[in-house]
Structure formats: structure tokens, C-alpha cells
Amino acid sequence: MRILSYGKMKRLMCVCLVVVLACILFAGCKKNEGGREKESTSEKKNVNEEFCFNTANGNIKVNMNAESALKIAGEYKDYFEMASCAFDGLDKIYMYSGFEIYVNEIDGVELVTRIVLTDDSVMTKEGLYIGAGLDRMVDLYGNDFEHSQGMYVYQKGSTKLIVGVAAEDVVSLEYAGTYGK
């Protein structure tokens, strides 16, 4: 039996909190046979109009092949896996300084399903970071969001930027796909 240090326990609790929040967001989602949402032609958007996370080595997108994304991200600091509440199988979580990449198997292929920013050492391509004010979020992304219980969701194509806000400050940032609906 392995005893976790205070730092690792704290990190594990943060990961669990993020997973619980994601499960709440995905609650009520229904997968179709292929596991992905089917889009009507009127709902299709230009795939170039999607959110992506910029790293020093290149861009990482949700729905990107996991192998390619992990090469761009470089060597991870830690790895964790657990039963997924949103997909069949496991959530594979690769932890880096300032962000985490979640990988799940969809239709037999391992894809990036979420990118979670974990501290203020990184920011979105547009310049939003944990600790920024709600007004900065609106200045950068506008008012075209869905809002529920402190969570602001912006959508571009098949990707979402999910911003958690408490006391008018950004407390969480996550890129996610639009699976089910």
C-alpha cells in the first residue's frame, strides 16, 4: 500500500474536483451509437473555428490524436487513470506544469477529450488565466456564453471553453469536446 504525500493528496483532490465538475456538465448527456454527437448540416461549423491550447511546442486541440498531442506537450510530470464517468473505459490523465491532458478511447482511437489548466502559469491563446476577473473573460470572449452555477461555457465548432468563476474571479479553465447532448 502506497501512502501519498500531502502535495500528491492535494493534487488528487483537485483532479477529483475537476472530474466531478465535468461529470456534472456531462450529466444527462446521451451518446449515439458511435459515441459522438451527430450534427445536422445547419449545426456544422468550420473546424478551424475551434478552441485550442497553445504550448511552447505547438497547438493541442480537443479531439486530436492523443499520441500527437502528447508529443507536442512533451514529457509529463505525472500520470493518473481512473474509471471514466463520461466515456466507456478509463480517463487517462497526463499532468504537466500548469495543465493536464485527458485522453479517452473513442471509436477505437485514443483522443484528447479535455485539457484542464491548473494554475496561473499558463493561459488560453486569447490571454485568459486562472485568477483573472470576470470582466477580462467577457472582454476576451464576449457575452455569447451559456451560464449555470458559476460555469460559463463558450462554444466554437465541436469544442467548448468552460470557465469556472467564483467571487468574480476565474477559478478554473477547461477545453472540452461536445460529446452527446
Q: Which domains does the chain have, with CATH numbers?
A: 6-26+47-177 (2.60.460)
Length, in residues, of the chain: 181
- Say what the pTM is: 0.73
Burial of 44 (0-12, 13-18, 19+ CB in 10 A): exposed
Please say whether the beta carbons of 150 and 165 come within 8 A: yes
Distance CA 131, CA 123 (A): 10
Q: What is the radius of gyration, based on Cα positions, of the chain?
A: 16
pLDDT of residue 7: 53
pLDDT < 50 stretches in the chain? 1-2, 4, 6, 8-9, 12, 14-47, 181
pLDDT of residue 94: 98
Considering only CA atoms, which of 19, 175, 29 is closest in space to residue 84?
A: 19
Helices (H), the chain: 6-26, 66-73, 134-141
pLDDT of residue 5: 52
Report pLDDT digits (tens) over 27-47: 333 333 333 333 333 333 344
Helix (H) or strand (E) holding 57, with range, is none
